[in-house]
Amino acid sequence: MNLNESVAIVKGIGPKTTEIFHKIGIKTVRDLFYYLPRTYENYQENIKIRDIRPGKVVIRGKISDLKTKRAKRRNFTITEGVIRDETDAIAVVWFNQPYRAKQFEEDKEYYFIGNFEFSRGKYQLQSPKAYLAHDIDKTAKNGFRPVYRASGQFKSENFARIFSGLRGEFSKIPNLLPDETIPDFLKITSRNEALFKAHFAENEKEVENSREYLAYEELFELILASNLNRNENSKLKARTIKFDQKNISEFVKKLPFNLTNAQRRATWEILQDLEKPTPMNRLLQGDVGSGKTIVAAISAYQTALSGAQTAILAPTAVLAKQHAEGLSELLEPFGVRIALLTGATKNKSLLKEKLKSGEIDIIVGTHAIITDDTEFKSLSLCVIDEQHRFGVNQRQKLLTKTAGTGFAPHLLSMSATPIPRSLQLTIFGDMSISILDELPKGRKPIKTEIIQEMDSVDILYPKVRETIKVGRQVYWICRSIENESEKKAISVKKMTEKLEKVFPKMRISYLHGRMKNDEKDEIMTRFSEGKIDILVSTTVVEVGVNVPNATLMVIMNAENYGLAQIHQLRGRVGRGNAESECFLMIENETEPSRRLKELEKSTDGFYLAEVDLKMRGPGEIYGSLQHGVLDLNIATLTDTKLISVASKYAKIFAKNSENMVKYPELISCIKKYQQLTTLN
């Protein structure tokens, strides 16, 4: 069976199933084999009710005394019953699942999987999954069963049936990696065995061994992509931009503030890179408010001093405008010519003529910079702000603006998302990294507090009034835009209406991602000019303008956000010298998660990034940011042993150019990773 063939050729997969599979990313036979179980249910571990203890449990028994009642809350039901085995009985409850009352036959045995805990004044099994014991005994090998992520009506059982039909095909799967790159310590040493054990495991040990092999394979691909990128980038030529010590020193002396040690170090690393005949490929990462922009400004000034041009790409028109204004204030007194190019720019054709003739030293803008008719005389430095906001093709379009000159531009990517060291070694292994781990003097840590929704009137509202009274401003973050589709998530529009009633004398506006760009720009401009007291918004403000006057951030339904995302949102305040606060609002009676508690005690983005990596995995942190490029299913980037060994073998493999022809499937697989940071 050819792994690259369409999944439609697999027996048992018809047109409808093919359509479902395409929606979840299963397009080829290879995609199907790598659609691994989300988890496993171990029915070997079922216990007698007399031995039950609080926590997750598996029990086998019969159920009776089922009844459903309506709670005081509208449209809320409680279904209760009793589960018995030969040793004892326990109470069971389901919330908002009234069908459970008619689901079971009292004379049949079922397996129940759920949490046994104290609630509503007694111990009970809470909303367990339930399966007919006869079915489990028939389908679970040695009482061990894989559970696949369902898609609509296509359930885990449907996946299990398809894989059962493919059982004899697994032995035909060839190894992806060369034999000499597979370390001895792996318990499984072939891809076909690893995939087979993943889908047909009989115990936890087999799962562990198969996942270790597949995790190694995944890390090898990722690290190999970085090595190949580095090799290719080293063949490119760039203009050398000599360090002008006299002018740069004079500029730094005249800044209205002192550079932090981290800013000095990062600037020196970049200036050294610019002197090299190969293009710089550097990532400048720093926590929110760490001063990345001034580092980019010095780099652009050095480029201008050498007679070359810089393009600075920002994700929004408001942010581009802010960058242009800040750079003009800093650099125009030194004779640097700066222009802004966005969709709203007037006389674009005249501006582009000046850019082409070399009359503009630094162009700051949005996607308008990468249109086909935007040409440069001597583009030598590209700065991409919040680089994860741009797709691979958009970044590449900017880098190709020097096509035909024989030179590639130097690239400085900037990100306010701190990257854990393990990710630096893998995803960005082909990039040099500069880190800003200090905040400028005068910046105060943001005080963060978790509050329950019912405490809003007593704690939050007075704080909002106090903030506005002293002339400061407030961000109020909501989950949804308009519809109440998300459970318990109030929309931006409804929250705005509510706040207008609570604070009738305050100027309140809302912002969300579905608004037109010019509408969003207008709202953010008014907020930055102090014409709005409370801005109710979705996470569209996560990467926004610098509003030092905003000192209070409220994040509703905080438990539904990722740690890194809340940290980014929180970074919208605390950008001036005034003390700032962030309230993380959770539902009434909800216990704060570890994620929120970590945010409450720390404002160190690098520490929080490591915590987030351990808790949620790289796919959660960077999968969405990189538009799915980092789609790791198995690997844990905290496994330093696997990373170290994969790095060693990947480096050896990349040195032999014959391998690019010898292992076509491997080279094809790593292309998605290569696109992440490649320059060419």
347, burial (CB in 10 Å: exposed 0-12, middle 13-18, buried 19+): exposed
In this prediction, residue 390 has a pLDDT band, given cuts at 50, 70 and 90, of low
**Beta strand residue intervals within 85-231, DSSP E:** 89-95, 110-119, 122-132, 144-147
Residue 211 CB coordination number (10 Å): 20
Largest CA distance in the chain: 90
CA–CA gap between residue 442 and residue 60 (Å, rounded): 62
φ/ψ (deg, to 5) at 645: -70, -40
Q: What is the mean pLDDT of the chain?
A: 86
Sheet with 338-341, side-by-side order of all strands: 338-341, 362-365, 309-313, 379-385, 410-415, 281-286, 432-436
Confidence of residue 427 (pLDDT cuts 50, 70, 90): low
pLDDT of residue 485: 42
- Decide if 566 contacts 541 (C-beta within 8 A): no
- What does the pLDDT look like over 583-611, one tens digit per residue? 999 986 667 888 899 999 888 887 887 77
Q: What pLDDT is recorded for position 387?
A: 60
Which band of pLDDT confidence, cut at 50, 70 and 90, is reported for residue 391?
Answer: low
To 5 degrees, how large is the angle CA 644–CA 650–CA 655?
Answer: 135
pLDDT at 388 over 50: yes
Digit-coded pLDDT (tens) for 279-294 = 998 989 887 778 899 9
Dump pLDDT digits (tens) for 560-574: 887 878 888 898 898
- Amino acid 412: pLDDT: 93
**Domain 42-146: which topology?**
OB fold (Dihydrolipoamide Acetyltransferase, E2P) (2.40.50)
Q: How confident is the model at residue 544 (pLDDT cuts 50, 70, 90)?
A: low
| pLDDT band of 483, cuts 50, 70, 90 | very low
Residue 75 CA to residue 66 CA, distance in Å, equals 19
Residue 670 banded pLDDT, cuts 50, 70, 90: confident
β-pairing verdict for 508-511 and 534-537: parallel
- Nearest of 457, 464, 434, 657 to residue 554 by alpha carbon: 464
Mean pLDDT calculated for residue range 519-543: 88
Cα 86 to Cα 42: distance, rounded to the nearest angstrom: 21
Percent of the chain with pLDDT over 70: 89
Give phi and psi for 452, each to the nearest 5: -85, 150
The pLDDT assigned to 629 comes to 40
Confidence class for position 380, pLDDT limits 50, 70, 90: very high
Written as six digits, the tokens of 652 are 């050896």
Task: Give the E-state strand segments of 71-121 in sequence order.
Answer: 77-84, 89-95, 110-119
Residue 679: closest CA among 218, 237, 369: 237
First to last CA, the chain: 35
Whole-number pLDDT of residue 626: 36
**pLDDT (tens digit, 9 = 90+) per residue, 68-127?**
998 776 678 899 999 999 999 999 999 889 999 999 999 999 999 999 998 778 899 999
CATH superfamily of 245-275+291-415: P-loop containing nucleotide triphosphate hydrolases (3.40.50.300)
pTM of the model: 0.68
pLDDT higher for 641 or 673? 641
| E-strand stretches of 481-527 | 508-511
**pLDDT value of position 193:** 97
- Asked if 478 and 538 count as a contact pair (C-beta separation under 8 A), the reply is yes
Domain ranges of the chain: 7-40+153-206, 42-146, 245-275+291-415, 447-602
Give yes or no for residue 621 having a pLDDT over 50. Answer: no
Give the residue carrying structure tokens 């379009």. 397
Q: What is the pLDDT of residue 92?
A: 96
In the CATH scheme, what is the homologous superfamily, with its name and number, of domain 447-602? Answer: P-loop containing nucleotide triphosphate hydrolases (3.40.50.300)
Rounded-to-10 torsion of CA 204, 205, 208, 212: -170
**Shared fold status for 245-275+291-415 and 447-602:** yes
CA distance 462 to 451: 14
Q: Return left, alpha or beta for 347; rule: phi > 0 is left, psi -120 to 50 is alpha, else beta.
A: left
* pLDDT confidence tier of residue 482, bands split at 50, 70 and 90: low
Residue bearing the bigger pLDDT, 12 or 390: 12
